[in-house]
Amino acid sequence: MGVLAGRLTGKTALVTGGSRGIGRGIAERLGRDGARVAVHYGSNETAAKETVTAIEEAGGSAFAIRAELGVPGDAAQLWAEFDRQAQGLDILVNNAGIGVSEPFATLQEEEYERVFAVNAKAPFFVTQLGAQRLRDGGRIINVSSGLSHASVMPHLVAYAMTKGALDVFTRDLSKVLGPRGITVNAVAPGIVDTDINADWLRAGDEAWANAASMSALGRVGAPSDIADVVAFLASEDGRWVTGQWIDATGGSLA
């Protein structure tokens, strides 16, 4: 247990897409800090259960909830699952997201609509219903991307557009919920070593070196790098930060 363990004791958190990658890192960190964590997953129940077990083995409390995002009724299903196991919410982390497989010239309408449904529409309505459960003084943290602020991978334009929408949502929602003492911020990762990026990051030493060179710190990010920033914003220490886009790219945009 770290020196900050317990600072979220008595709090309940929900992390969408919390079973893998950055989401798992965030869920585990919030659990170590004392929060009871709802680990949301869309399809990989095994990964969700593994994350719950990891949190519990570290001395924390967690439970898994399933809801497919990007389909009609997704937010209502998610909160129905949550309500069966918890009452009230203090921290909402909108982390779940998907990428695109095609560049601008060949991207089809179906894939475009799907990435917007998961990355932009779902967080909006998950948060809309979640705000009814969120206690005054709560926290909302949206996981954005460095690509919403810099054209370093222009072939991912549709994905970047979804994160740009999430950034505007973050900014404006901070004013909507500010009177309740609720902070709303976005955290933007750069290249992070997760299974989603594994194929190209581990294609060879050159691929890894090229990815690492994008950061001013000369390495590829880890889920814990992002989770620690989220943990700060979720804590009392982050009480005076709201409506902000936090660059957590390791200086990739410097």
Catalytic positions are: 159
Q: Which amino acid is at 35?
A: A
Q: Which amino acid is at 245?
A: W
CA torsion angle 170 95 23 11 (round to 10)? 60
Write out the two tokens for 211. 């990815």
Q: Which long-range contacts (CB under 8 A, 24 or more apart) does 169-176 make?
A: 169/120, 169/123, 169/124, 169/127, 169/142, 170/142, 170/144, 170/243, 170/244, 170/245, 171/243, 171/245, 173/127, 173/140, 174/242, 174/243, 175/243
Euclidean distance between CA atoms 57 and 223, whole angstroms: 19
Q: Which amino acid is at 242?
A: T
C-alpha dihedral sign at 237, 137, 27, 126:
negative
DSSP letter at 15? E
Q: Which amino acid is at 209?
A: A
Euclidean distance between CA atoms 202 and 48, whole angstroms: 24
